[in-house]
Chain A
């Protein structure tokens, strides 16, 4: 017996996107406002379903009576094309047309918990042989074929599927998926027996299918989180203290004691203040006008920041690898090199300031958010509201590109808390300064490296020490986000240092690219991480880009000391053939001229040079190598990236054009982060509060050309393509500047002032 699908599980995300079908949220369609009426069918006694059980096939896939297929995905579209590659996968696995597949993504009442959509893990997870959408689709296909076999009286081996219709070979009898199960549940546990198709068998996967969301985005028909409205909605703006640790002394009211028009309430708790008003503009003006007295706890010195970073106490200390012979090997080495690299605090800086809409009614809450983890955010909100997680329904709606933990989770916490305080559905939209100044920034690093070269000019020893700091992070705990801290929730204590269990492996990988990719017999890697004054969280290529900046700069410094060509030197130290392949290909694409770097430093004003960097992302998530060509203006210190060549291997290329789009985005961001971006502050607060105090790359910073080639390996597992090229940028640019000028830059960003100072010596 199969049950009928409850209405709620039939909502089509794609119809929603294109504005043609069931709208999940819209003016006049308050369906989800009363969770019980919309989803009551899912559970008798509880507010939401107890658990979207990932073992149940129905948690992943539903076939509707009209032959469309709905996929419930825990990995969401962040603007990178993941919804499209998920649709490709399901269409191919089930043999249905692309247009028949819809995705419901990130909904704590509908989609399975697949963790965060982060770390370039989405396609890797969904296309894995087990545990994701690929397996579920294969299970669904097998179940459908078994049903068809019974119905048509033919063995499964004689069945073929095309466009969702099953036929018996050599006969005219057919049955469609919709006839077999349309609008009914499978009621099946995943067997683990269904074998997905191979990448050679896929016909749609591997082609450049156009993104399903772009037509709506280009015509104004797309609904972003910022657009979610519900009836009775009121608007709120947060009022932040000067610094995170400042304390609220008093709320002094309005100038002239005259409450501005439209104000409903000023809400506050601990050091948290927000203004609620009928209309958005009223909330903005009122929040600006509200007088609040704070006891300011100043931020630490900006100028001494990197020194302070190396002297934080206490710290969590980790010995990642220690072959116990590094000191001896360095002492024995005929040549040694030492260098210290500094990576600043940078921000996600989303184009759209984050927003969220929430409705807390009694003991239930509905929250629309562009979070990367609906389940994890649900935990934070439930804690903050004092409700069981079960009663909090978090629904993902795409926002502005986030590149990690931007303001999305923080603003959702705001919306939920304010809605509870004011007893109305609330939309909170951050102003630009709220987004810039209060997001979870990327982590700063100081990385010090010592290396030894043996008599043959090979690297014999590598000694790495890193210092970093963070505070907070992704939800769970509310105080991982700035609003949670201001609301007085307890912050996580610093983790204890784990006992040193030094590894002997010379090609150690730790998921953060801490170690070099190269085979070096003697290695020591030690990290120290402390807590500092700034909220921190993952920013595209977290820790990987910082480590790769240091490691891929340092291997160049060693190559230079050895009088070797940077490409050949890398290849000599590699046993990983796939990494060697991308490096070799990128060099070939660039028509790389072998020889030591900086051999021909010119005399004129403009100096041109090339640098390379390559790595295996996270040790198991995508290869990239890139050659950057830069021009350095000796007079102004300005660096321009002129041409870039890059080769990439992420296993099977699922959507080559989509992969290229990700590489282009990585390229622009990595130039921006290498040349421009650095969060600044003074004792009274963060000063990077808008696009002029924290500028990023624009059209005038584009390279003239970008050549990109994919090594497509259909026999390998799928790896991420979203964070690989960005990781190589800082080192490749530093190496290119060195090649052009003979001067090594070890502190990001390479601003004109910094470059000019370095050139002067």
Chain B
């Protein structure tokens, strides 16, 4: 158990955790940020996605020590119900969730992706999002929401 300072959603937090603790458990249990979710712990589903700097990473298998000195952003840090990020707003407008368990990963992944490709084609979106799993079958709406978000942010 050691003391670490990590910067999450623009604030510094001192946390107590062994350095090998995956970032996900620190975010969820120490900082009570429930946007990032546990799906598999195996880098297979993307439910745990957060941003480390500009990159979408899987926090279930990223040791908290790797977050030292790099800003972490979670779903909560993107926007709120009152002031959603354009990607969050597009997901709400397109009703792009059923159970919503994958939604964190979908929004965090597509937000990072749109920074690299601001006006992707539908095929590019599908290709980029294939590593993120949705078991409810919300894919059509997620693709539509990402397209709409790209437009809104253009």
Q: B132-146: which residues lie under 8 A (CB-CB) from chain A?
A: 132-143
Is there an interface contact between B137 and A668, defined as CB atoms closer than 8 Å?
yes
Known: A223-B34, A665-B138. A213 touches B126 (CB 8 A): no
- Return chain A residues, CB-CB under 8 Å to B47: 351-352
- 1/0 per residue, CB under 8 A from B, across A315-352: the answer is 00000000000000000000000000000000001111
Complex CA distance for A211 and B98, rounded to whole angstroms = 9
- Return chain B residues, CB-CB under 8 Å to A702: 126, 139-140, 143
Is there an interface contact between A664 and B140, defined as CB atoms closer than 8 Å?
yes
> Which one of B45, B92, B99, B125 has the greatest number of beta carbons of chain A within 10 Å?
B99
B148 at the A/B interface (Cβ < 8 Å)?
Answer: no
Is there an interface contact between B129 and A281, defined as CB atoms closer than 8 Å?
no
Task: Select one of A214, A219, A226 contacting B38, CB under 8 A.
Answer: A226
B120 at the A/B interface (Cβ < 8 Å)?
Answer: no
Q: What is the chain B residue whose CB lies nearest that of A427?
A: B29
Is there an interface contact between B80 and A219, defined as CB atoms closer than 8 Å?
yes
Is there an interface contact between A220 and B126, defined as CB atoms closer than 8 Å?
no
Is there an interface contact between B135 and A700, defined as CB atoms closer than 8 Å?
no
B54 at the A/B interface (Cβ < 8 Å)?
Answer: no
Q: A623-668: which residues lie under 8 A (CB-CB) from chain B?
A: 657, 661, 664-668
A227 at the A/B interface (Cβ < 8 Å)?
Answer: yes
**A interface, by DSSP: helix, strand, loop or mixed?**
loop
- Return chain A residues, CB-CB under 8 Å to B28: 227, 280
Complex CA distance for A9 and B33, rounded to whole angstroms = 28
Complex CA distance for A80 and B80, rounded to whole angstroms = 23
Q: A189-240: which residues lie under 8 A (CB-CB) from chain B?
A: 210-211, 213-224, 226-227, 229
A543 at the A/B interface (Cβ < 8 Å)?
Answer: no
Complex CA distance for A284 and B42, rounded to whole angstroms = 13
Q: How large is the interface on A (under 10, 10 to 19, 20 to 34, 35 or more residues)?
A: 35 or more
- Return chain A residues, CB-CB under 8 Å to B140: 664, 702, 706
Task: Select one of A27, A349, A661 contacting B98, CB under 8 A.
Answer: A661
Is there an interface contact between B134 and A351, defined as CB atoms closer than 8 Å?
yes
B104 at the A/B interface (Cβ < 8 Å)?
Answer: yes
Known: A224-B101, A661-B98. A219 touches B84 (CB 8 A): yes
Is there an interface contact between A226 and B37, defined as CB atoms closer than 8 Å?
yes
Is there an interface contact between A432 and B40, defined as CB atoms closer than 8 Å?
yes
Q: What is the chain B residue whose CB lies nearest that of A235?
A: B29
- Return chain A residues, CB-CB under 8 Å to B138: 661, 664-665
Q: What is the chain B residue whose CB lies nearest that of A216?
A: B81
Among the listed stretches A488-496, A570-578, A610-618, A690-698, which one makes contact with chain B, having 4 or more residues with CB under 8 Å of it? A690-698
Task: Select one of B81, B96, B135 contacting A18, CB under 8 A.
Answer: B81
Is there an interface contact between B127 and A352, defined as CB atoms closer than 8 Å?
no
| Min CB–CB distance B37 → chain A (angstroms) | 6
**B interface, by DSSP: helix, strand, loop or mixed?**
loop
Q: What is the chain A residue whose CB lies nearest that of B91?
A: A218
Complex CA distance for A31 and B47, rounded to whole angstroms = 30
Complex CA distance for A78 and B136, rounded to whole angstroms = 11
| Min CB–CB distance B35 → chain A (angstroms) | 3
B75 at the A/B interface (Cβ < 8 Å)?
Answer: yes
| Min CB–CB distance B139 → chain A (angstroms) | 5
| Min CB–CB distance A120 → chain B (angstroms) | 14
Complex CA distance for A429 and B22, rounded to whole angstroms = 15
- 1/0 per residue, CB under 8 A from B, across A71-99: the answer is 00000001111000000000000000000
Complex CA distance for A19 and B21, rounded to whole angstroms = 28
Q: What is the chain B residue whose CB lies nearest that of A213?
A: B100
Known: A218-B84, A698-B130. A79 touches B98 (CB 8 A): yes
- Return chain A residues, CB-CB under 8 Å to B39: 351-353, 400, 432
Is there an interface contact between B137 and A666, defined as CB atoms closer than 8 Å?
yes
- Return chain B residues, CB-CB under 8 Å to A296: none
Is there an interface contact between A351 and B130, defined as CB atoms closer than 8 Å?
no
Known: A213-B100, A690-B40. A351 touches B34 (CB 8 A): no
B-side interface residues toward A, CB under 8 Å? 1, 17-18, 20-22, 25, 28-29, 32-35, 37-42, 44-45, 47, 74-76, 78-81, 84, 88, 91-92, 95-104, 107, 125-127, 129-143
Show 24 residue pairs from A and B whose CB-CB distance is below 8 angstroms, ordered by the A residue. Answer: A18-B81, A79-B100, A79-B136, A211-B97, A214-B96, A218-B103, A218-B107, A219-B80, A222-B34, A224-B101, A227-B28, A351-B101, A351-B133, A353-B40, A400-B99, A400-B101, A432-B42, A669-B135, A691-B40, A698-B133, A699-B142, A700-B127, A702-B143, A706-B140
A-side interface residues toward B, CB under 8 Å? 18-19, 27, 78-81, 210-211, 213-224, 226-227, 229, 261, 279-281, 284, 349-353, 398-401, 403, 429, 431-432, 657, 661, 664-669, 690-692, 696-700, 702, 706
Beyond contacts A81-B98, A226-B38: 20 other A-B pairs, Cβ-Cβ < 8 A, are A79-B100, A210-B95, A214-B100, A220-B35, A279-B29, A280-B25, A281-B17, A281-B21, A349-B135, A351-B134, A353-B39, A400-B39, A400-B135, A432-B40, A661-B141, A690-B40, A691-B45, A696-B135, A699-B130, A706-B140
